Structure 1
Amino acid sequence: MGQISAQLVKELREKTGAGMMDCKKALMETNGDIQSAIDYLRERGIAQAAKKSGRVAAEGLCEVVVDGNNAVIFELNSETDFVAKNKDFLELLDKVGKALINSNVTNTEEALALTVNGETVETFLINATAKIGEKITLRRVTKVTKDASQGFGAYSHMGGRIVSLVLLAKDNEVVGKDIAMHIAANNPRYLNSASVDAATLEHEKQVLTNQALQEGKPANIVEKMIVGRLNKYLKEICLVDQPFVKDPDLTVAQYLKNNGNDVISFVRLEVGEGIEKVEEDFAAEVAAVTKGN
């Protein structure tokens, strides 16, 4: 069969969860017969990935790769911490990192569509899912580019459970690593108070107002209390106002000033953030299997 329609490829992808190139090849090998193509993929272990597509991949590792004026930071997820430590997963993490740093991708969608050695990143993740035996997903890809005079700082904590990347106004390896380490440890949400969005401020103000009213404070006192508590909250969530992790007597802003530098931006990733994990009852699962036998 010469031509395989895009619609047929799409249908096979939806039925098996296999990658586009694998689906196209399977259809060509089976003269466009969907059922035979499904069997073809199953025989090669590729369609096994489809069975895992509904599972939650909330473990894994994060990675940050710096190469000259480019850096990429991303998260590769697996279903269990055990798999995240195995050789195949670590090789996959390295392969993805190299592919991303040598490309122009700026986000996850672009990363999945990136073609490396004739196959997309999405396809080799699906193939990895079949090989490794757990759902493997790529998420939260960020590419950062700097000027020659600027500097990067990167830090990986707990073997990649938490990673951070900072862009400095001036290149300084020591300051870069120190600030990246601080970001990994203290988890700031914003660079400074000016970068906190209005919705976050309003929400926190409302929470603090309700707290103060619950304490039975009079309205005129409540207003002053909120200002103080809001400022305290901002110092906790803004990088430059936090006590510097290596010297808590200094704020990060003071440490930067002492070293004649500034932070332009930063990214911090922690494995599984924002993924709703499914709590499985292992005893119930074993009981159900035993009952079926």
Structure 2
Amino acid sequence: MAISASMVKELRELTGAGMMDCKKALTETDGDMDAAVEFLRKNGQAKAEKKSGRVAAEGLCAVELKDDQTAAVVEVNSETDFVAKNEKFQNFVKAVAVQAVNSDAADLDAFMAEAWNEDTSKTVKEELVEKVATIGENLTIRRFEKVTADNGCVVSYVHGGGRIGVLVVAQTATVNDTVKEALTNVAMQIAAMNPKFVDRSEISEEYIKHEEEILLAQIKNDPKESQKPEKVIEGMIKGRINKEMKEICLVDQVYVKAEDGKQTVGKYLEQVSKEVGADVKVEKFVRFETGEGIEKKEEDFAAEVAAQMNM
């Protein structure tokens, strides 16, 4: 398969690896982008985690709280940032969030088939079609998630004017302003640091095994490290896995507002628990970032003109 400059550029943006390394990885994997990322990781030429999305689409995320125990977050995409700043579009996204927090739909298809909350004579899908016609740009309700706290509360946070939407579900016998403020701080942490799990109990053995394989491959490809005794290598892998866990597990992350620069989120919540006289524990969180994981076609004006001239 011919490897284009745009493919090399995309892989470089995903991994931070050098241009020639990216070209080699794509050549070795016959242009398979995901396989090329793995290739670079195993050779120690890429970061442990690739960026959340290859190319960001436009649009907004919005959150809606029904009460202290029920909330929803939605993502609605547009083609351009210009439309994302449009008041009609923003109001529509807000209405979609209201729809979601009152919805019992189990999936997006069921959600789109529901009666629209502001005009029950039409469905959510029909309202979307009308908005596309009114705004003059393709719009997509990409996803939604509704959460409920059975033994505690839910807090929300929106970052970057709607670029990121976060919900935090917590278990606690005490729900007051102190608890809500603390959980909002945690939601800000999630928006900024993008953890994958609440704690290590959520991480599967398959995930750990895969990361160990990557680390072992990196060590074997290092002329110095590969010569170390097996037990030393096992210790190195364990240490690096523990370091990664501290980055991807919320409670193990260093709290961004920690005065000493060392306090973890878990320790911060323990401090809050003592202050309010009740355990405050994060049960789950939801983090939506606009456009994450969406491919967006890059328009090459020069190539388009050349193609038209050759017609």
TM-score (norm 1): 0.75
Partner AA of 2:189 in structure 1: H
Look up the match of 2:290: 271
Partner AA of 1:279 in structure 2: E
**CA distance in 1 between partners of 2:230 and 2:96 (Å):** 56
Please list, as runs of the form range in 1=range in 2, the aligned pairs for 1:97-176 lying within 5 A after superposition.
Answer: 97-116=97-116, 117-147=120-150, 149-170=151-172, 171=175, 172-176=179-183
CA-CA distance at 1:286 after TM superposition: 5.7
Look up the match of 1:185: 192
Look up the match of 2:271: 258
Look up the match of 1:218: 229
Deviations 1:234-275 (A, max 9, x none): 111000000001113210000011111110110001011111
Instruction: Name structure 2 gaps, 5 residues minimum.
Output: 1-54, 274-279
CA-CA distance at 1:200 after TM superposition: 1.7
Look up the match of 1:243: 254
TM-score (norm 2): 0.71
**CA distance in 2 between partners of 1:208 and 1:250 (Å):** 28
**CA distance in 2 between partners of 1:250 and 1:131 (Å):** 50
**CA distance in 1 between partners of 2:290 and 2:154 (Å):** 22
SS in structure 1 of the partner of residue 299 of structure 2:
coil
SS in structure 1 of the partner of residue 232 of structure 2:
helix
Aligned residues of 2:61 and 2:163 also touching (Cα < 8 A): yes
After superposition, the CA RMSD in angstroms is 2.1
State the identity %: 43
- Which of structures 1 and 2 has the bigger CA Rg? 1
Aligned residues of 1:183 and 1:239 also touching (Cα < 8 A): yes
Look up the match of 2:66: 67
Aligned residues of 1:78 and 1:136 also touching (Cα < 8 A): yes
In the alignment, is residue 230 of structure 1 matched against residue 241 of structure 2?
yes
**CA distance in 1 between partners of 2:143 and 2:205 (Å):** 24
SS in structure 2 of the partner of residue 142 of structure 1:
strand
CA-CA distance at 1:93 after TM superposition: 0.6
CA-CA distance at 1:57 after TM superposition: 9.0
Partner AA of 2:232 in structure 1: I
Look up the match of 2:32: none
